[in-house]
Amino acid sequence: MTDKVAIREVGLRDGLQLITTQLSTEQKLIWVEKQIKAGFREMEVTSFVPPKLLPQFSDATEMIALSNKFKNFTPTAIVLNKKGAERAITAGTKKITFVLSASEKHNQANVRCSTDESLMKFKQITNLSYTKNQKINIAGAIATSFGCSMQGSINENRVLELASVMLDAGACEIILADTVGYANPTQVKSLFSKLKSHIGKCTMAAHFHDTRAMGLANVVSALEAGVRHFDTTLAGLGGCPFAPGASGNIATEDCVYMLENMGFNTGINFKELLEVRNYLAEILPEETLEGKLSVAKPAINSTTG
């Protein structure tokens, strides 16, 4: 297992979504720049949701325009519907992540329509990107792929069906997201192994939360099923709206440290990464920063130096 593994930092979106500190566009761009310096090639930098709902992302258009200026770097943005996609495309977004939920209840709560209606919107958006004659990559993210705190278990076949429809409609990537931290390693291995036979030349990515301590254990299982793309947040930023006080996403630094020490190549400079974390501590003084490597420091024989 000496493959390359790609880490997409989603702290600027999933990490900021629930916190009260409002970062300025300038602070966000310094964060992006520092993370690029540490070796990142893709970051989810914003979300095209109505600014009234999430003021944190009211600078979505500027974030895309300014992040697009960095070389060898792909800034991505979340969209949930056609209007968001139109705003994203107008802003010049090169890669869009469309999110729907495998759980009907969660989809209704999140975007007030059924999952099938969301699928229709996904198709409209892929058509839209053709119409505008812009080359836009569209990833399909399936939230609550491993369970839902409103609905409970999620049928594996439903997740695979949603993935297939999105792949047929032109998705470049399928992201299975464990939105509420329900996934366990057995389940992760099973679902990604099945997805692998549908994925073709497209990318399969995993988005895990550490709510129930299984985040990195799930990464190990996903690796075994062939996943080489992971979403993480620096300092484990982001929480779970359904479990106040619980942990958020898996921490970028802990995940990178594990992967490098397992023999994978992430292309990330670990020391630079911890420097970005120091910057976060500076601009987010009131937030709880998670992640164990900043406390324990790398082992003296670590491959991360």
- Look at the block and give the residue holding tokens 């994925």: 199
End-to-end CA distance of the chain, in Å?
20
What is the distance between the alpha carbons of residues 206 and 228, in angstroms, rounded to a whole number? 8
CB of 86 to a second copy, least distance (A): 37
Q: Residue 152: helix, strand or coil by DSSP?
A: strand
State yes or no: residue 149 binds a second copy (CB under 8 A). Answer: yes
Residue 227 sits in the site that holds a second copy (CB under 8 A): no
H-only helix segments in the chain:
25-37, 60-67, 82-91, 104-111, 115-131, 156-168, 185-199, 215-224, 252-262, 270-283, 293-296
Rounded Cα gap, residues 221 and 1, in angstroms: 13
Catalytic residue among 148, 202, 240, 255: 240
Tell me phi and psi for residue 206, to 5 degrees. -120, 140
What is Dmax (Cα atoms) for the chain? Answer: 55
271 near a second copy, judged by CB under 8 A: no
- Candidates 53, 285, 295, 305; binder of a second copy (CB under 8 A) is 295
Contact characters 237-256, a second copy, x per CB under 8 A: ---x--x-xxx---x--x--
Site map for a second copy, 61-100, x if CB under 8 A?
Answer: ----------------------------------------
Query: Cα-flanking dihedrals φ and ψ of residue 293, to 5°?
Result: -70, -25
From candidates 212, 228, 267, 279, binder to a second copy by CB under 8 A: 212
Are 163 and 140 in contact by the 8 Å Cβ rule? The answer is yes
Selected from 12, 79, 204, 214, the binder of a second copy by CB under 8 A is 214
Query: Which span (32-40, 128-136, 159-167, 211-219) binds a second copy, by CB under 8 A?
Result: 211-219
The C-alpha atoms of residue 32 and residue 279 are separated, in whole angstroms, by 11
Residue 202 known to be catalytic: no
Q: Which stretch binds a second copy (CB under 8 A): 12-20, 86-94, 132-140, 290-298?
A: 290-298
> Would you say 140 or 291 has its CB closer to a second copy?
291
186 touches a second copy by CB under 8 A = yes
* Six-digit token string for 20: 């009260």
Does position 217 interact with a second copy (CB under 8 A)? The reply is yes
Q: Closer CB to a second copy, residue 170 or residue 226?
A: 226
Which of the 8 DSSP states describes residue 102? S
Positions annotated as catalytic residues are 240
Contacting positions for a second copy (CB under 8 A) = 1, 147, 149, 152-153, 180-182, 184-187, 210-214, 216-217, 219-221, 240, 243, 245-247, 251, 254, 257-258, 261-263, 291-293, 295-301
